[in-house]
A = this chain, B = another copy of it.
Amino acid sequence: MKIVIAGSGNVATQLGRALLGAGFPVAQVWSPTYANAAELAARLGAAAVAEAGGLDRDADLYVLAVKDDAIPAVAAGLAGVPGMVVHTSGTTPMHVLSKLPAHGVFYPLQTFSRFREIDFSDVPLCLEAGSTAVLEGLRTLAGRLSSRVYEVSSAQRRSLHVAAVFANNFSNHLFSIAAGVLNDSNLPFDLLRPLIRETAAKVQDGMPAEMQTGPAIRGDQQTIDRHLGMLQYKPEWARLYLDLSESIKKTGK
């Protein structure tokens, strides 16, 4: 199977490594910045390509792991290729690739950092395809990389991306605020690390609605008021504290 990757960011890097590890070498890497393409190509034992027009036309799979707004242009450059062309975006609908005969989406739902290795066998791979043949092709490949393969429509993928923003981006921001509160009291963030680990561990078996604890769910207004008083020096944090507490009280979870 001849595979080509467009992009050299976190997804391109981690997916490229996972493909190589599963016995699917990558033939070519192109990126808007040649130096980045060269660096990733070297890591993957692939050839770096300077111009998108220089990509081979006979690959079996083109993975477009570029920025969302760059996808249409790269896709246009691949017009007429018979191989499968997929993007890896959580927010981009599949139809931006609809002019290509064998198109689909290969969305790995995880937070990737360039230099942090991810166990891909545990990454949910969300697939969508323009035809049954492409779906089967993607399914076979995905099954070699991960034990978690899902078929997800464009509309569902958009919801999934919103959910991921809550679960990852926003909770990380709350960790950031917590670190700020500690720092303002000369306490190390290390104090909170076991709690954060356990918070994530608890929802691995159960549902978060069953795990909710704290003053808001208990209706402990005295503690909430004390906390708001303590946060008066930082009105943005007090406001988020209030909004999140109200939301917990209202929904009961």
Residues 168-223 of A contacting B (Cβ, < 8 Å): 168-179, 181-182, 184-187, 189-204, 207-209, 211-217, 222-223
Flag whether A241 is at the interface (Cβ < 8 A). yes
Also in contact, A182 and B159, with CB within 8 A (given A195-B110, A244-B173): yes
Flag whether A156 is at the interface (Cβ < 8 A). yes
A181/B166 in contact, CB under 8 A: yes
* Chain B residues whose CB sits within 8 angstroms of the CB of A148 once the complex forms: 190-191, 194
* Chain B residues whose CB sits within 8 angstroms of the CB of A223 once the complex forms: 68, 91
* Most chain B beta carbons < 10 A, residue from A113, A116, A162, A211: A162
Q: Kindly state the separation between the CA atoms of A18 and B202 in the bound complex, as whole angstroms.
A: 19
Q: Report the stretch among A24-32, A118-126, A131-139 that lies at the interface.
A: A118-126
Minimum CB–CB distance for A16 against chain B, Å: 19
Task: Give the bracket for the number of chain A residues in contact with chain B.
Answer: 35 or more
* Chain B residues whose CB sits within 8 angstroms of the CB of A186 once the complex forms: 156
A207/B178 in contact, CB under 8 A: no
Minimum CB–CB distance for A14 against chain B, Å: 11
Residues 39-84 of A contacting B (Cβ, < 8 Å): 68-69
* Most chain B beta carbons < 10 A, residue from A124, A198, A216: A198
B230/A250 in contact, CB under 8 A: no
Q: Kindly state the separation between the CA atoms of A160 and B155 in the bound complex, as whole angstroms.
A: 41
Q: Kindly state the separation between the CA atoms of A213 and B182 in the bound complex, as whole angstroms.
A: 22
Beta-carbon nearest neighbor of A217 in chain B:
B169
Flag whether A127 is at the interface (Cβ < 8 A). no
Q: Kindly state the separation between the CA atoms of A235 and B164 in the bound complex, as whole angstroms.
A: 18
Minimum CB–CB distance for A221 against chain B, Å: 12
Q: Kindly state the separation between the CA atoms of A212 and B171 in the bound complex, as whole angstroms.
A: 10
A160/B191 in contact, CB under 8 A: yes
* Chain B residues whose CB sits within 8 angstroms of the CB of A185 once the complex forms: 155-156, 159-160
Beta-carbon nearest neighbor of A192 in chain B:
B167
Q: Which of B152, B184, B231, B240 contacts A243 (CB 8 A)?
A: B240
Apart from A111-B198, A163-B181, A175-B203, what 5 extra A-B contacts exist at CB < 8 Å?
Answer: A162-B227, A168-B196, A171-B196, A172-B199, A173-B216
CB-based closest 6 A-B pairs? A169-B214, A200-B200, A175-B208, A159-B185, A171-B171, A163-B178
Cross-chain pairs A/B with CB under 8 angstroms, 6 sampled: A122-B194, A150-B187, A155-B185, A163-B178, A172-B212, A179-B209
